[in-house]
Amino acid sequence: MTKYLPLQPPMLQNELQDARYRYREFSPSLGLRHCVACYWTIDYLASDDSKLHRILPDGCTDIIFDLSSSASSGGAVVSGLMTAFETMNLTGDLSLFGIRFFSHQARQFLRYPVSEFAGYHVYLEDLWGKEAERIEEEVCAAKGIPEVIERVENLLIKLLHKEKNQTDDMLEAGVQYIQASRGKLSIQALAENLNYSERNVRRIFQHELGVSPKQFIDILRFQYLLQELYGSKKTPAHFSETAVKYGYYDQSHFIHAFKRYYGLTPNQVFT
């Protein structure tokens, strides 16, 4: 099974990056790849013009550190699972470092179900208490991103072995089925594969992730569609063929879904 690696606009649209705005992604170490999709950074130098940073739903949950924060607390937030695109209008200097967790694995590190903060930004210290302040100070004091990643990975590995908040077995299996199908399966088929009732599948996804299994499937299906469009011919005919392959059987359905998750049309992104 191909590993699921979500995409964000700066990776899809290289023209978004410029001398003032830089987005980068870094792979986690082998022992964390089942939990962490990537580490990422945003660096922005303010000018007379603002910059629009677009964020797509990707089935993930992030811890975001403000590397330029001068406060001793409140320098890190947890961003819950998104179900639609969001935009940030960057106007001042900014330096962020993020840990992008696969949402079904995030509880092992955050100590609470992702559903507790789905759609919200929660201060890390509200989850970890004083320990969060220490981690924020360590991360902000690091000299360069390689050292930030080293410190973060040491923390994550300790948490992975220490915490008892294990991933729900049914949720883990369910996400694996969704990824194996590239988001192309129904709730009924998912429930049959899991040997659970549809009601129980919905209950577990809602309780753990704060979204229905259909919402989660639709997000991953869209991300897989993006991956395929990104690595292929950028023609209207190919858009249509790929859309049908992923279950968007008419153009209006495809365009509506694309704009919901991206905020732009396929032609605006890929041509």
pLDDT tens across 49-89, in order? 888 999 999 999 999 999 987 665 668 999 999 999 999 99
pLDDT score of 2 more than 60 = no
Helix 145-162 with 130-141: angle, nearest 10 deg:
150
Alpha-carbon distance 22 to 10, whole Å? 8
Asked whether 80 and 117 are in contact (CB, 8 A), the reply is: yes
pLDDT at 22: 92
Tell me the torsion sign for CA atoms 255, 260, 264, 269.
negative
Asked whether 55 and 29 are in contact (CB, 8 A), the reply is: no
Task: Return the higher-pLDDT residue of 236 and 42.
Answer: 42
Alpha-carbon distance 81 to 219, whole Å? 10
- Residue 190, classified by CB atoms within 10 Å of its CB into exposed (0-12), middle (13-18) or buried (19+), is buried
Alpha-carbon distance 44 to 46, whole Å? 6
pLDDT at 233: 61
Asked whether 44 and 69 are in contact (CB, 8 A), the reply is: no
Residues 183-202: tens digit of each pLDDT: 999 999 999 999 999 999 99
Across 1-15, 72-86, 208-222, least confident range: 1-15
Residues 124-179: tens digit of each pLDDT: 999 898 889 999 999 988 999 999 999 999 999 998 887 666 678 999 999 999 99
Amino acid at 226: L
Asked whether 7 and 230 are in contact (CB, 8 A), the reply is: yes
pTM of the model: 0.93
pLDDT at 119: 74
